[in-house]
């Protein structure tokens, strides 16, 4: 298993140790998900290390909320680079090495379908692009035996959006279950799509959002 990280080598090494302790090989690659060349290089390093690529999970994400009239152009370009261009680059490079049974799993957002507060239009734009890309790819890659799906989380307790963060009280009020999701819950859905039971699912947008978009 190979994965990329942006800054914390210590945390990356900890993940490698946990994967190796479970009996699998692991490779941590430092790469900026907004740098298309770095993303393509990460795929190449994975192939060099393991000799094959069966599953790609596009999990990088960047968010910035601001009214559209004053949305900083620099932030706009950064969101496009990470949330859209990086996904394109990783996918384009990965499919060169995938065959029948390959899986591509996007980590999108429920905000591609629902944006219940002001300031999120540009973020929704990027996640809407991922949702559309998923549907198009399902048609492109279906004949090759490769499935493509989009996991769409609602608020999840992460470093970017912690459950005790400044937005938590607002977001919890929009959730049917009135709690943030956990990373392992999202990972469980990803594992299902990557496993044999998910082989007949493609082109789907699967919400895991605690009722955020209900």
Tell me whether residue 12 is in a domain. Answer: no
How many Å from the N-terminal Cα to the C-terminal Cα in the chain? Answer: 35
Question: The pTM is what?
Answer: 0.94
Q: What's residue 211's pLDDT?
A: 94
Rounded to whole angstroms, how far apart are CA atoms 141 and 191? 20
Catalytic residues: 123
Tell me whether residue 83 is in a domain. Answer: yes
Tell me whether residue 39 is in a domain. Answer: no
Q: Mean per-residue pLDDT for 8-19? A: 92
Look at the chain and report how many structural domains it folds into. Answer: 1
**Which DSSP helix (H) or strand (E) runs through 121?**
helix 121-141
How confident is the model over 118-177, as pLDDT tens digits?
999 999 999 999 999 999 999 999 999 999 999 999 999 988 888 888 878 888 888 999
What CATH number is attached to the domain comprising 86? 3.40.50.720
How confident is the model over 161-202, as pLDDT tens digits?
888 888 788 888 889 998 999 999 999 999 999 999 999 999
Tell me whether residue 38 is in a domain. Answer: no
Tell me whether residue 109 is in a domain. Answer: yes
Q: What's residue 89's pLDDT?
A: 98
Domain that holds residue 67: 53-208
Confidence of residue 105 (pLDDT cuts 50, 70, 90): very high
Rounded to whole angstroms, how far apart are CA atoms 184 and 107? 13
Closest CA to 110 of 176, 200, 20: 176
Q: What's residue 207's pLDDT?
A: 97
Tell me whether residue 161 is in a domain. Answer: yes
Tell me whether residue 204 is in a domain. Answer: yes
Tell me whether residue 19 is in a domain. Answer: no
How confident is the model over 51-100, as pLDDT tens digits?
999 999 999 899 999 999 999 999 999 999 999 999 999 999 999 999 99
């Amino acid at each position: 298993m190979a994965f990329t990280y942006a800054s914390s080598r210590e945390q990356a090494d900890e993940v490698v140790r946990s994967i190796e302790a479970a009996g699998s090989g692991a490779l941590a690659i430092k790469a900026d998900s907004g740098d298309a060349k770095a993303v393509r290089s990460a795929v190449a390093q994975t192939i060099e290390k393991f000799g094959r690529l069966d599953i790609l999970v596009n999990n990088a994400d960047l968010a910035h909320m601001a009214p559209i009239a004053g949305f900083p152009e620099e932030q706009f370009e950064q969101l496009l680079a990470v949330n859209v261009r990086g996904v394109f680059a990783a996918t384009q490079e990965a499919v060169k090495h995938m065959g029948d049974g390959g899986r591509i799993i996007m980590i999108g957002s429920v905000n591609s379908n629902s944006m219940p507060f002001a300031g999120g239009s540009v973020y929704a734009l990027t996640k809407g692009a991922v949702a559309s890309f998923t549907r198009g790819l399902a048609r492109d890659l279906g004949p090759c035996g490769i499935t493509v799906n989009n996991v769409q989380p609602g608020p999840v307790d992460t470093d970017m959006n912690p459950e005790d963060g400044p937005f938590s009280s607002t977001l919890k009020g929009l959730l049917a279950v009135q709690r943030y999701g956990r990373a392992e819950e999202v990972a469980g859905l990803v594992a299902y799509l990557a496993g044999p039971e998910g082989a007949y699912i493609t082109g789907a947008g699967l919400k895991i959002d605690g009722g955020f978009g209900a």
